[in-house]
Amino acid sequence: MSETPGVDSLVTETADRLFTQICDHEAVQNAETSGDAPEIWSAFADTGFPWISIAEDQGGSGGSLLDALEVLRLVGYHAAPIPAAETGILGGWLFASSGHEIPEGPITVLPDGGANVTGSVTGDEITLSGTCIRVPWARIADRIAVLLEIDSQSIVASVDPKDCLIQPMTNMAGEPRDTVCFDEVKAAVAPAVPGVDLESFRFRGALSRVALMAGAIEKMSQLTVSYTNDRVQFGRPVARFQAVQQHLVWGAQEAALARMAAETAAREANRGSAFFEIAAAKLIANQAAAKATKACHQAHGAMGMTQEYPLHHYSRRLWAWRKEYGSDAEWSSWLGKVAVSQGAQGLYPLITGGSLNLD
């Protein structure tokens, strides 16, 4: 795996080694059956990986957002069935930016800003009501970070999941995406620092999925090259057939494209505003996921459809992740509107200069 500029290579090498050791095909398959992977989580948490990019004086592990995203890319690359994004750059970020204590265990967040959840604040306490679906790993979380905007003020509540009714559900990849019901749940609440709001949360969510997806597509492409070189039909490895080679090239180029988009978005986000790059990167990753899963499955033939061969760990995750924090249609519309609003004169500067050219 090539190095990403600006990233602490010690962090990524350690994470890669850790996942290679503990997160094999069987472990991922078992997590899908049981809905949890406590061994993988504790090994990951023992090294402090979940809290990279959160300052040490706020209870985090230090390091940059770039480092955290690179670790997420490896989570995707190994299909690690753990709430890494939710605990770190999403939930951890919300808690750190509102002065809440970071718990020792996993954190989860409400996707789409918990559209159906409302709250009423009294002092430093909030009462929450409503139901939110597709909450990642709510069943094993220590805390739920709930971001709300009340009277134009962004506030973050730290909710104990034990106070909620949690109904286990799963996404296409068999990862927990639970339904969480808040029935007048009381929780501590605090205002978020400026710049932390529903909009920036949504972009950050998309950024997390882009990193995961770039890793999964890369792994899928590598698996495919390796399998087609081993699989012999008509007296030769199927990778020697031009028709199969085309699939390999599709897989590889989509992997390269998604990774490039992920790195560009990560670099800009690390520097400051990156709405344009993140929107573009999520759209690219979504489309790359569709093309690459198609090519890689086709090149694998029937073997890729079975549970006993690992391809499905990646393809199913990609199908699920491409729908989280913005589908193709949502980000296409967003990008289209932004491009149109720049006018003809502003289009090229937008493409070359990105978010720096947006107000």
Partner 1 sequence: MNDSTEEQIRFELESILERRNADTRLTTMGAGSDNVEDGRQYLAKTVTGGWHVPTWPPEFGGRGASPSQNALIGRLLREFVVPDLYPFAIGLGMVGPALLAHGTQGQQQDWLQPIASGSSIWCQMFSEPEAGSDLANVALKATQDGEEWVLSGQKTWTSRAMWADWAICLARTDPGQPKHKGLTMFALPIDIPGVEVRPLTQMNRDAHFSEVFVEEARVLDLWRIGEIGEGWRVAMTVLAHERAGGGSRGGGDGNARGVRIPGWISDLQALGVAENQLWRDEVSNIYSHDRVSRWTSQRAADEARVSGVPGPAGSGAKLRTVKSYKDRAYLSNRSAASYGMLTEGAGYIETMTAPSMSIRGGTDEIQRNILGERVLGLPGEPRLDRDVPWSDSRRGLL
Binding residues (CB under 8 A) for partner 1: these are 111-112, 133-134, 169-172, 174, 177, 232-236, 238, 241, 243-244, 290, 293-294, 297-298, 301-302, 304-308, 312, 315-316, 319-321, 323-324, 327-330
User: Based on CB atoms, which residue is closest to partner 1, 185 or 213?
Assistant: 213
Q: Structure tokens of 339?
A: 């491009």
Judge contact between 148 and 187, C-beta under 8 A.
Answer: no
CB of 96 to partner 1, least distance (A): 26
CB of 95 to partner 1, least distance (A): 24
CB of 331 to partner 1, least distance (A): 12
Q: Pairing state of beta strands 165-167 and 143-150?
A: unpaired
**CA neighbor of 282 nearest in space, from 297, 294, 299, 264:** 264
Class of residue 256 by CB neighbours under 10 A (exposed 0-12, middle 13-18, buried 19+): middle
CB of 51 to partner 1, least distance (A): 27
User: Based on CB atoms, which residue is closest to partner 1, 197 or 330?
Assistant: 330
CB of 6 to partner 1, least distance (A): 31
C-alpha torsion angle, residues 149, 150, 153, 159 (rounded to 10): -60
User: Based on CB atoms, which residue is closest to partner 1, 10 or 243?
Assistant: 243
Q: Residue 305 and residue 143: Cα distance in Å, rounded?
A: 37
CB of 177 to partner 1, least distance (A): 6
User: Based on CB atoms, which residue is closest to partner 1, 182 or 314?
Assistant: 314
Q: What H or E segment, with its residue span, contains residue 174? A: none
In degrees and rounded to multiples of 5, residue 84 shows phi and psi of -70, -45
User: Based on CB atoms, which residue is closest to partner 1, 332 or 342?
Assistant: 332
Q: Tell me the chain's radius of gyration from C-alpha atoms.
A: 21
User: Based on CB atoms, which residue is closest to partner 1, 143 or 312?
Assistant: 312
